[in-house]
Structure 1
Amino acid sequence: MREHTLADLRRVAESFWPVGTAESWDRVGLVTGRDDAPLRRVLLAVDAVRATVDEALDWEADVLLTHHPLLLRGVHTVAEDTAKGALLASLIRGDCALLAAHTNADAPEGGVSDVLAERLGLVDAEPLEPGSDPSAGIGRVGELGESLTLRAFAERIAAVLPGTVSGVRVAGDPARTISRVALCGGAGDGFLGHPLVLGADVYVTSDLRHHPAQESAEQSLVSGGPALVDISHWAAESLWLQGAADRLATELPGVEFRVSSVRTDPWTFAV
């Protein structure tokens, strides 16, 4: 069997999550590494942070594949007295490449929102914002197999997601009946006014800010609208990792893929 290289991983990743389908503001693809480097071990994580970089290096991984790009926003130095510079230096010295699949991995079938919809039990789910492929796009909206109260639905979400300090926060009547669910993996308050979100019984996303959430809840009292469920950004997107690892392993036999054991939700405790 031919030994695989980083170029093979990039080729397969491109077939699953084409760089050209990423949002225009996104920064996906190879951050550091060389195509002819041998490919034996790949660690998948949501974030490139000190803990996941150290985990990759301790395991002697050849690639750290993350969902969130390390260099999403512009930097003007990679000096090692900066956090990102220190991480890049460690990866380069450890001969570990860094590859990111972000919004290009959010939209497709089997992507972040698709996996979240499946885990929550949605049927006939479709994108909130379809792309050129109507089965792909941002977010999902669909029906539960059976109606639940808002409290029971929130408990289902809590059972599906890995635990975090912030838990699952809910805005709405706990006894409200939930049948139609809209969701967006990652930060999705920009879709609070979307017609498919307004037509759902509940909207599930992350990083809901005070004013948009409050305005949505107040408006629902006047003209109807969804209950809100705010979940950990990291927890929601972590569900995608194992499926991605399994798909990559099928296409690259002989390469070992592992999902990081590190929880990179930034909050460590609550008082």
Structure 2
Amino acid sequence: MVQLSVADPSSGSPREHTVSDLRRAAEALWPVASAESWDRVGLVSGRDAAPLRRVLLAVDPVGATVDEALEWDADVLLAHHPLLLRGVHSVAEDTAKGALLARLIRGDCALLTAHTNADIPEGGVSAVIAERLGLRAARPIVESTSPEVSGGTAGIGRVGTLDAPESLRAFAERVAGILPQTVSGVRVAGDPDRAVQRIALLGGAGDSLLDHPAVLAADVYLTSDLRHHPAQEALERAAAMGGPALIDVAHWASESLWLDGAAERLGDRLPGVEFRVSTRRTDPWSFAV
């Protein structure tokens, strides 16, 4: 296990990093106050004074990633998705979430989450997808109004342009090339030979933005968890009045790209603490027939 002593500027004596240092670093990168009002982010379990030597980053706080964190003797599991997003009335160990929390607490592993507050900044979930796809002049679909994140590059989703037009099929193959493989793969709705250049995207579930003007003005909209009726209505509208082709990718896959950069940014702020990105695939689908 990696140990770290750093100088404490107030006393001149060395001290170990603690969970509170990680919370401060995370707050600087992804301010809690910038999260959506319905979201539940920050420290879920654990204590600020606990020593910080190893941090595992994952999309989902589920059995597989809790196993990995405890097997690695991690001090914190930093997850993108909240464990307690909706109200619960019990954390008894005969409930799934209660059992996970109990295992983390017994294993002295804190749980910290960064969700919509990690979606909106530069280097956030959607920004990373835009960068991997080579989009130029990418801007938020919905610019953030939070005073905690300044500038026009913070917000929900991204819209930008490819260097040159390419077919929808070629672009879909480009998308598949940057994402980890999943059972559902990359699903496309539209003419495969249609030329596309202006791209709108939102990592995670994005059908709430199907009607947004920036999405309607794009050639293709890339997101996850598109439901039958909203997708069908969007395609009917596109046929009648113009609008984007649709690309639907696995939710876990789209958000997993953010983890490497998040680990790197935290590592820059907390040198000597060991950060690792989970190797467990937590997409819920295991096979198709």
TM-score strictly above 0.5:
yes
Instruction: Pick from 263, 266, 273 the counterpart of residue 248 of structure 1.
Output: 266
The one-character-per-residue Cα deviations of 1:24-55 (angstroms, maximum 9, x if unpaired) are 00000000000000000000000000000000
The one-character-per-residue Cα deviations of 1:113-134 (angstroms, maximum 9, x if unpaired) are 0001101110000000001332
Note the aligned Cα RMSD (angstroms).
0.5
- Deviation of residue 151 (structure 1)? 0.2
- Deviation of residue 254 (structure 1)? 1.1
User: 2:179 is matched with which residue?
Assistant: 161
Instruction: Pick from 84, 88, 93 the counterpart of residue 80 of structure 1.
Output: 93
Q: Distance in 2 between matches of 1:178 and 1:239?
A: 23
Matching of residue 144 in structure 1 with residue 157 in structure 2: no
Q: Distance in 1 between matches of 2:76 and 2:65?
A: 11
User: 2:22 is matched with which residue?
Assistant: 9
Following superposition of structure 1 onto structure 2, how do residues 40-51 of structure 1 map, counting pairs within 5 Å? 40-51=53-64
| AA partner of residue 37 (structure 1) | A
- Deviation of residue 184 (structure 1)? 0.6
User: 2:132 is matched with which residue?
Assistant: 119
Q: Secondary structure at the match of 2:257?
A: helix
Q: Distance in 2 between matches of 1:49 and 1:163?
A: 20
Matching of residue 195 in structure 1 with residue 195 in structure 2: no
Q: Distance in 2 between matches of 1:140 and 1:13?
A: 22
User: 2:70 is matched with which residue?
Assistant: 57
| AA partner of residue 207 (structure 1) | D
Q: Distance in 2 between matches of 1:148 and 1:236?
A: 21
Matching of residue 185 in structure 1 with residue 198 in structure 2: no
The one-character-per-residue Cα deviations of 1:86-129 (angstroms, maximum 9, x if unpaired) are 00000000000000000000000000000011011100000000
Q: Distance in 1 between matches of 2:91 and 2:23?
A: 24
User: 1:223 is matched with which residue?
Assistant: 241
- Deviation of residue 135 (structure 1)? 1.1
Q: Distance in 1 between matches of 2:138 and 2:237?
A: 26
The one-character-per-residue Cα deviations of 1:246-265 (angstroms, maximum 9, x if unpaired) are 00001101100000000010
Gap regions ≥5 residues in structure 1: none
Q: Distance in 2 between matches of 1:120 and 1:215?
A: 27
Q: Distance in 2 between matches of 1:147 and 1:92?
A: 52
| AA partner of residue 209 (structure 2) | F
Q: Distance in 1 between matches of 2:143 and 2:177?
A: 29
**Superposition misfits of 4+ residues, deviation over 4 angstroms:** none
Q: Distance in 1 between matches of 2:62 and 2:163?
A: 38
Q: Distance in 1 between matches of 2:186 and 2:37?
A: 31
User: 2:118 is matched with which residue?
Assistant: 105
Q: Distance in 1 between matches of 2:164 and 2:86?
A: 42
User: 1:89 is matched with which residue?
Assistant: 102
Equivalences, count: 271
User: 1:35 is matched with which residue?
Assistant: 48
Matching of residue 268 in structure 1 with residue 289 in structure 2: no
The one-character-per-residue Cα deviations of 1:199-236 (angstroms, maximum 9, x if unpaired) are 00000000000000000001111000000000010000
- Deviation of residue 145 (structure 1)? 1.2
- Deviation of residue 195 (structure 1)? 0.3
Q: Secondary structure at the match of 1:76?
A: coil
Q: Secondary structure at the match of 2:255?
A: helix
Q: Distance in 2 between matches of 1:11 and 1:209?
A: 38
Gap regions ≥5 residues in structure 2: 1-5, 7-14
Q: Distance in 1 between matches of 2:197 and 2:274?
A: 40
Greater Rg over alpha carbons, structure? 2
Following superposition of structure 1 onto structure 2, how do residues 19-30 of structure 1 map, counting pairs within 5 Å? 19-30=32-43
Q: TM-score, normalised by structure 2?
A: 0.93
- Deviation of residue 152 (structure 1)? 0.3
User: 2:3 is matched with which residue?
Assistant: none
